[in-house]
Structure 1
Amino acid sequence: MTDPAILYRLTEVIEGRKNADPETSYVAKLLYEGQDKILRKIAEESAEVLLASKEQDKSHVIREVADLWFHCLVLLAHHNVGPDDVLNELRRREGVSGLDEKAARKV
């Protein structure tokens, strides 16, 4: 198994760049431009994942999912949450039917 700690290392890099110069840091620029910019990047990367999947190109799918995950980490940083928050939610859902979990949601 590969090193899942990469998510935490990326999170640390993203946190470290929150206050960096937007002229020299892509992460700082995204965060400076705000949530709408980050959401547009996530929408763009999501579409690229879909297209890569339709092409049946596994390496392209992997690259695009990596881009999507990275931008999702930036969004989490924007909201001052991190991978543990998402992992805890997945842990909470573990063993629960997807249909039951969805029916139990308030929103």
Structure 2
Amino acid sequence: MTGFTLDDLARIVAQRADASTAEKSYTRSLVEAGPARCAKKLGEEGVEAALATASGTKVELVAEAADVLYHLLVALRVREVDLVEVMAELERRTVQSGHAEKASRER
């Protein structure tokens, strides 16, 4: 087990988003391109992860899952959503079963 966490990745994304120029940082280039570009990249990576889940290898799925997590954190950054907010929502949802939580949203 590594000691690397989503919080660590979020900090790296924040640092790179604040890089001096987009030429020096892919993350900065995504942030500068705005929410629509970040959404497109997140969608592309999500589809690739889904395809790897359906018919790819374990190695492919690991790589695509890493891409999804990275692009999700960039999307959160560009929309000024802190990872803590997402984690709080997940914590709130896990106090009950998944079926009960989903039913509570279906109104």
What TM-score do you get using the length of structure 1 for normalisation?
0.85
Matched, 1:10 2:39: no
Who is 1:75 aligned against? 75
**SS class of match (1:47):** helix
Who is 2:37 aligned against? 37
Measure, in 2, the Cα distance between the counterparts of 1:99 and 1:55.
27
Q: Which deviations, in whole Å up to 9, do the C-alpha atoms of 1:38-90 show, x marking residues without a partner?
A: 01111100111111112241111111000000000111111222322211111
Deviation at 1:106, TM superposition (A): 7.6
Deviates more, 1:25-34 or 1:50-59: 50-59
Matched, 1:99 2:99: yes
Distance 1:18 1:55, change over 3 A: same
Deviation at 1:93, TM superposition (A): 1.1
Measure, in 2, the Cα distance between the counterparts of 1:17 and 1:2.
22
RMSD (CA atoms): 1.9
**SS class of match (1:17):** helix
Distance 1:17 1:87, change over 3 A: same
Unpaired runs of 5+ residues, structure 2, are: none
Measure, in 2, the Cα distance between the counterparts of 1:85 and 1:102.
19
1:12 is aligned with what amino acid?
R
Q: How many residues align?
A: 106
Residues 17 and 25 in structure 2, CA contact (< 8 A), matched pair in contact too: no
Measure, in 2, the Cα distance between the counterparts of 1:71 and 1:56.
20
Percent sequence identity over aligned pairs: 35
